[in-house]
Chains A and B, each alone.
Chain A
Amino acid sequence: MTEKEFIKKLQEGRRDAFGELLDQYQQMVFSTSLSFVPNKEDAEDVAQEVFIEVFKSINKFKGNSKLSTWIYRITVNKSLEFIRKRNAKKRFGYVQSLFGNEIPLDKTDFFTEINHPGVLLEQKEDHATLMKAINELPDAQRIVFTLHKIDEKSYKEISEITEKSLSSVESLMFRAKQNLQKQLLDFYKNRDI
């Protein structure tokens, strides 16, 4: 069955077609979500949102890109949406606590409990430090760095997912690395003082 035929089945809303879609893409979507949201439960929630969005929007898919690229794009958007919502919730909780409202304040400085099951115990602290630094990057740099360094996508794949030119992707990656180096150096300096 060609991709076109498969998409047609999906557009007809057939359960067996969506079952096949999940078989093919659930691991890929979950892994990418986990690269952005380093917590298994949260990453699964994001992955579920991705498939529901695919289900709702499949009739709008015109086939201008590969199905996998389109699904990656939705995964990146849903992951960032999750992070934005969580960060906003944290800020709201902080402001409420300033006004003395009894909202339990989560004092951690990250949007989720960092608990990536694929990270070895001795690397957990370093991984958490890196994730917090990535959380400070602008969205465009964060996407490129996460997809390239954590999700191990090539620049070409990232360029297709983000619909940016190859040179823009390289430039974003360069700036992301520079910003992270600066942030992490500051972090280690302050920790040593």
Chain B
Amino acid sequence: MNTRKDMTDKVEELLESAGNTNEVKVSPFFKDQTLDRMFAAKEELPSSGFSWFTPKLQWAALAIIFLANSYVLYNANQSNYNEKLDQFAETYQLNNSNDGMSSFLK
């Protein structure tokens, strides 16, 4: 059985020898294959015409859509309220022609 010292020496030796490898040459076809892959990838890039629509602009557009929707929704609620009020006034004949109560409501 190995002693602890033997094992420690073995570990040290192993760590020190980590870089003891011969240089391995890259394959002679590597350059051409890589160039072909690079430029094939370039040709495949879809030119959708939306490259200007960067993530920043996408967020800005989303914020504008959200604000516009909120505004429309708010206005729709307001007009519903007025419509209902008119309907109510009509039902109980509180419209402009019977000025007594309608002027009171306004």
Residues of chain A at the chain B interface (Cβ within 8 Å):
13, 15, 18-19, 22-23, 26-27, 30-31, 34, 40, 44, 47-48, 51-52, 55-56, 116-120, 123, 126-127, 129-130, 145, 149-152, 177, 180-181, 184-185, 188-189, 192
Contact: A150 with B21, CB < 8 Å? yes
Task: Give residues 26-58 of B contacting A (CB, 8 Å).
Answer: 26-27, 30-31, 33-35, 37-39, 41-42
B76 in the interface (beta carbon within 8 A): no
B residues near A40, Cβ cutoff 8 Å: 24
Contact: B19 with A44, CB < 8 Å? no
Instruction: Knowing A184-B11, A188-B7, say if A26 contacts B18 (CB, 8 Å).
Output: no
Mark interface residues in B1-31 (1 if CB within 8 Å of A CB, else 0). Answer: 1100001101110110111111111110011
Instruction: Knowing A44-B27, A123-B17, A126-B17, say if A188 contacts B34 (CB, 8 Å).
Output: no
Instruction: Knowing A116-B24, A188-B2, A192-B1, say if A52 contacts B41 (CB, 8 Å).
Output: yes
Number of A-B contacts (CB under 8 A): 95
B residues near A31, Cβ cutoff 8 Å: 23-24
How many Å lie between the Cα of A116 and that of B22 in the bound state? 10
Residues of chain B at the chain A interface (Cβ within 8 Å):
1-2, 7-8, 10-12, 14-15, 17-27, 30-31, 33-35, 37-39, 41-42
Contact: B35 with A19, CB < 8 Å? yes
How many Å lie between the Cα of A112 and that of B30 in the bound state? 21
Instruction: Knowing A26-B26, A152-B19, say if A52 contacts B37 (CB, 8 Å).
Output: yes
How many Å lie between the Cα of A127 and that of B42 in the bound state? 40
Which one of B15, B21, B25 contacts A177 once the chains associate, using CB atoms below 8 Å? B15
Contact: A27 with B25, CB < 8 Å? yes
A residues near B35, Cβ cutoff 8 Å: 15, 18-19, 22
B residues near A185, Cβ cutoff 8 Å: 7-8, 11
B residues near A184, Cβ cutoff 8 Å: 10-11, 14-15
A residues near B38, Cβ cutoff 8 Å: 18, 51-52, 55
How many Å lie between the Cα of A189 and that of B21 in the bound state? 26
A residues near B15, Cβ cutoff 8 Å: 130, 149, 177, 180-181, 184
